[in-house]
Amino acid sequence: MDRRRRRARALGLAAALVGGAALAADAGPPLRAMRWVPRDADPVRVFATQPGECLRLPRDSAAALSVEVGRAAFRTPVLLGGQAARAGLSCESCHRAGRDNPDFQFPGASGAPGTADVTLSLFSSHRGNGVHDPKPIPDLSGPRDRLKVAPADRPKFIHGLVAEEFDGPEPTPAVLAGLVAYVDALDPAACPRAPRMAVAPAVLMSDARRALDAARREMALGDRPTAVLMVAAARTRLGLIDERYAALPAERQHLRNADAGLAALQAAIREGGPGAAADLDRWLAAAPALEAALGAREPLSLFNPHRLARATNRRLPANRS
């Protein structure tokens, strides 16, 4: 597929997603990710819990940093850029916790639930024909010998996914290396004993802190664009908390102030001023108060499975695929 047709195809996919977003403004589901699950999926299983992550962090600190960079990038739509980003799609949308997603189904890109069409011309002879060719989303934490893309080919494959399939901006070398390192560090032997865990503000805040820690270390290495993306990843986590506190204005305001702090931090990192590291530390120092405030009202938020079920039964939209 040439660049223009490829772009048209990407935009077609994105238009379907953004169309979903516009519709959702009237009668939309309470959580954005509900737009890409079938209507009859159990909202409590899918959105109150998530699969455990099977991650083995390397001991070496530079290697561990690379995995953390990849882990954060994997979880932010900003990596993919453009319309897919606006629709809220990230690697994690399809590979939940670095695994698969049997409930993933969105208009124009999926066949049966758990499938998506992301084949690359590199690996698929169909791609140039514009054939709708959804494939099962593989569990990236499954047995290594079941993965189709050889470790040596992963950088090229992942680069193609980001920059071509999703038309995202060129990833920085550290981000690309990080995504590869993250996928390499997924290991079925590292899966937690419980197959699923609760989704909670504390879990998302922990992700945000990890991303910010990676941001700080990338700043120290002088890699400002990677640091900015890491802060974006933290902001994505705040956004996922925010949508579940829609009925709680005080907590929502607290979250939005915290997010504005991160937006300012991104600007400071871009400018390369000397104060950005101190800003980041101040934000982290204030984070426990935010987390405590969120935790205190968590039962009233959509992190509470009962509230989630009630909100969803009323509002889950028809599947438009």
What residues line the site for ligand HEC (CB under 6 A)?
74, 89, 91, 93-95, 109, 116, 118-119, 123, 135, 137-138, 140, 147-149, 154, 157-158, 161-162, 179, 183
Residue 91 CB, nearest approach to ligand HEC (Å): 3
The tokens for 287 are: 């984070």
The tokens for 174 are: 């550290």
Residue 75 CB, nearest approach to ligand HEC (Å): 10
**Residue among 63 and 264 whose Cβ is closer to ligand HEC:** 63
CA-based angle 128:88:113, to the nearest 5? Answer: 65
**Residue among 85 and 116 whose Cβ is closer to ligand HEC:** 116
Torsion of CA 296, 300, 305, 311, to 10 degrees: -160
Residue 89 CB, nearest approach to ligand HEC (Å): 6
Q: Report CA-CA distances (Å) from 304 to 24, 67, 104, 204, 251.
A: 22, 31, 22, 15, 15
Determine the residue with CB nearest ligand HEC: 91
The tokens for 132 are: 């709708």
Residue 95 CB, nearest approach to ligand HEC (Å): 6
**Residue among 122 and 260 whose Cβ is closer to ligand HEC:** 122
**Residue among 178 and 261 whose Cβ is closer to ligand HEC:** 178
Compute how many other C-beta atoms are within 10 angstroms of the C-beta atom of residue 134.
17
Is 104:36 a contact under the CB 8 Å cutoff?
A: yes
CA distance 25 to 29: 9
CA distance 179 to 184: 9
Residue 134 CB, nearest approach to ligand HEC (Å): 7
Furthest-apart CA atoms within the chain: distance in Å: 54
**Residue among 183 and 230 whose Cβ is closer to ligand HEC:** 183
Residue 317 CB, nearest approach to ligand HEC (Å): 19
**Residue among 162 and 316 whose Cβ is closer to ligand HEC:** 162
- Which region holds residue 82: left if phi is over 0, alpha if psi is between -120 and 50, else beta? left
